[in-house]
Each structure stands twice: as structure tokens, then as C-alpha cells.
């Protein structure tokens, strides 16, 4: 999307002053093998107000009626570092489901020598560390999905823009374009992830665990703003 699209978005943000900021329901199920390969299943559906806003933005840019384009996301994810295959499909214009096979988890979404995920496996156990920081999140988003990156840029999310805002500042910015009810919607939105690991989990940073499974319940506002780095680490026997 070029300069013409960005100009149209600027106009639309004024026109859509009463529109609602997006939220979504997302669930991630995954399994990580001892060789560093992984299989991830994703189900994501945008809420009606988000759907209406993104559809308007897409229409202004001459895009298709799909709010989330499963085929476009498949193409971008398949080309991302460390990915073996990707296959996503639309279950509705604003919902997708599918799977991502990762051949080398250490290389997944790596940016300029900075690893998004660090994985180690030895004879006595292993560890996996996920580190999401504002400094490299825009580049990671481009690798994951330029389409989603464009929308988040238009919606002023620091994860895409790289701008240094705390959560209150970001919510105030959103409220100035929309209204305070939208901020409440953002604050209540969450992403849930359930990941199985090669051995019995012994400790988790940023989540809970039972047996081989770790569970994460991530507030969307934390991910959008990245006021502080989001660090998740799992250790197993």
C-alpha cells in the first residue's frame, strides 16, 4: 500500500470519528519438538466493530471485501524466516484459521540478527524464550504479514509504528480519535496460547503450566503498546 492509500486512511480517520477501535478473539495452539521444529494452529476472528472499520479502510485503498485475507496471510507467512509451510483460509470475511509449520524455531521472524525466539535443547532438558520489543516489532510484523502491519500502522499501534507511548498515552490517543468506550474494549481484549513442549515443564515466565503444556493469557493492550518488553520463557526436563 503506497502514499495514496495512506492519504486515504488519514481522511477516513476523520470520517470514522465515531467508529470503534478493533478488538479480536484469538487462540493459538502449538507444539514444539526437541529438534526445534514446531506446529502452530491459529484461529482468529475480528469483532464486528473492528470488522466495520477495517473494511472501510480496505475499501478506501481499493482492496477486496475480505477484512482478513487468508491467502495473502498464507503467502507472507510462508516466506517468513524459519517457516516450512503455511496454510490459512477464511471462515468468514473477518475470520481465519489455519496452520503454520516452523522448521527452525530459532530463525522464526528473526530480524537483523535479533532473534524473536531463543531455543535450546540438551540431554537433561531445554528452554524456549520469546522476546517481543518495540525496537524490532515493526520489522517482525512486516515479515509476518504486511497486510496486518498496514492496518496497525493506520490505527496508531506502537507495535507497528515503533512510537514510544505508555499504555495510558496510547489509550488517550485512541480516545481522542474515537471515544473512551473503545479504550475499554481494547483493555478487555486478550490473546490465549496453549503450547506443548518436548518434556515436562518445570517453570514458566509470563504464564502457567501443567505437565508438558504451558498456557499464556496475553492482554492485547500489552502487545499493541509494548511499553516494556514482553518476555515469555519456558523450561522443561
pLDDT in tens, 149-204: 877 777 789 998 889 999 999 999 988 887 677 677 778 778 899 999 999 999 99
pLDDT grade for 12, boundaries at 50, 70 and 90: very low
% of the chain beyond a pLDDT of 70: 80
The pLDDT confidence band at residue 16, using thresholds 50, 70 and 90, is very low
Domain presence at residue 8? no
Considering the domain boundaries, does residue 97 fall inside one? yes
Residue 121 counted as domain residue: yes
Looking at the domain assignment, is residue 1 inside a domain?
no
pTM of the prediction? Answer: 0.79
Domain count, the chain: 1
Residue 83 has pLDDT above 90, yes or no: yes
Cβ contact 178:21 at 8 Å: yes
In a domain, 207, yes or no: yes
Residue 195 pairs in a beta bridge with: 30, 214
From 214, 218, 216, select the one nearest 195 (Cα to Cα).
214
> How many CB atoms are located within 10 Å of the residue 186 CB?
22
32, 108, 167, 233 from 36: Cα distances, Å: 7, 10, 34, 15
Provide, rounded to the nearest whole percent, the portion of the chain with pLDDT above 90.
Answer: 45
Q: What average pLDDT score do residues 86-102 get? A: 93
12 within some domain: no
pLDDT of residue 60: 66
Mean of pLDDT values over 57-84:
80
Give Cα 130 distance to the centre of its chain.
13
Instruction: Find the range with the poorest average confidence among 67-71, 94-98, 120-124, 181-185.
Output: 181-185
CB 48 within 8 A of CB 79: no
Q: What is the mean pLDDT of residues 198-215?
A: 97
pLDDT-derived band of residue 64, with 50, 70 and 90 as boundaries?
A: low
pLDDT higher for 72 or 10? Answer: 72
Of 18-22, 110-114, 131-135, 224-228, where does the model show the most confidence?
A: 224-228
Establish if 14 belongs to a structural domain. Answer: no
The residue-averaged pLDDT of 27-35 equals 95
Look up the domain containing 141 and give its range.
25-236
In a domain, 140, yes or no: yes
Q: Does the structure show a pLDDT above 70 at 109?
A: yes
* Residue 38 confidence (pLDDT) above 50: yes
Amino acid at each position: 500500500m503506497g502514499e495514496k492509500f495512506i492519504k486515504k486512511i488519514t481522511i477516513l480517520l476523520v470520517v470514522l470519528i465515531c467508529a470503534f477501535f478493533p478488538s479480536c478473539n484469538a487462540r493459538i495452539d502449538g507444539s514444539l519438538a526437541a529438534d526445534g521444529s514446531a506446529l502452530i494452529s491459529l484461529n482468529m476472528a475480528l469483532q464486528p466493530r473492528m470488522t466495520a472499520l477495517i473494511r472501510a479502510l480496505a475499501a478506501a485503498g481499493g482492496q477486496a471485501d475480505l477484512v482478513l485475507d487468508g491467502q495473502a496471510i498464507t503467502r507472507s507467512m510462508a516466506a517468513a524466516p524459519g517457516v516450512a509451510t503455511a496454510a490459512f483460509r477464511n471462515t468468514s470475511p473477518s475470520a481465519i484459521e489455519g496452520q503454520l509449520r516452523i522448521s527452525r524455531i530459532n530463525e522464526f521472524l528473526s530480524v537483523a540478527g535479533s532473534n524473536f525466539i531463543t531455543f535450546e535443547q540438551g540431554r537433561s532438558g531445554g528452554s524456549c524464550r520469546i522476546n517481543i520489543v518495540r525496537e524490532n516489532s515493526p520489522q517482525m510484523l512486516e515479515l509476518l504479514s504486511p497486510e496486518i502491519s498496514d492496518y496497525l500502522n493506520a490505527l496508531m499501534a506502537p507495535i507497528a509504528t515503533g512510537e514510544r507511548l505508555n499504555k495510558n498515552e496510547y489509550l488517550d490517543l485512541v480516545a481522542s480519535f474515537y471515544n473512551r468506550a473503545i479504550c475499554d474494549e481494547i483493555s478487555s481484549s486478550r490473546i490465549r496460547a496453549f503450547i506443548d513442549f518436548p518434556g515436562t515443564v518445570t517453570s514458566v515466565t509470563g504464564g502457567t503450566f501443567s505437565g508438558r503444556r504451558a498456557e499464556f493469557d496475553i492482554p492485547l493492550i500489552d502487545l499493541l503498546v509494548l511499553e516494556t518488553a514482553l518476555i515469555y520463557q519456558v523450561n522443561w526436563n
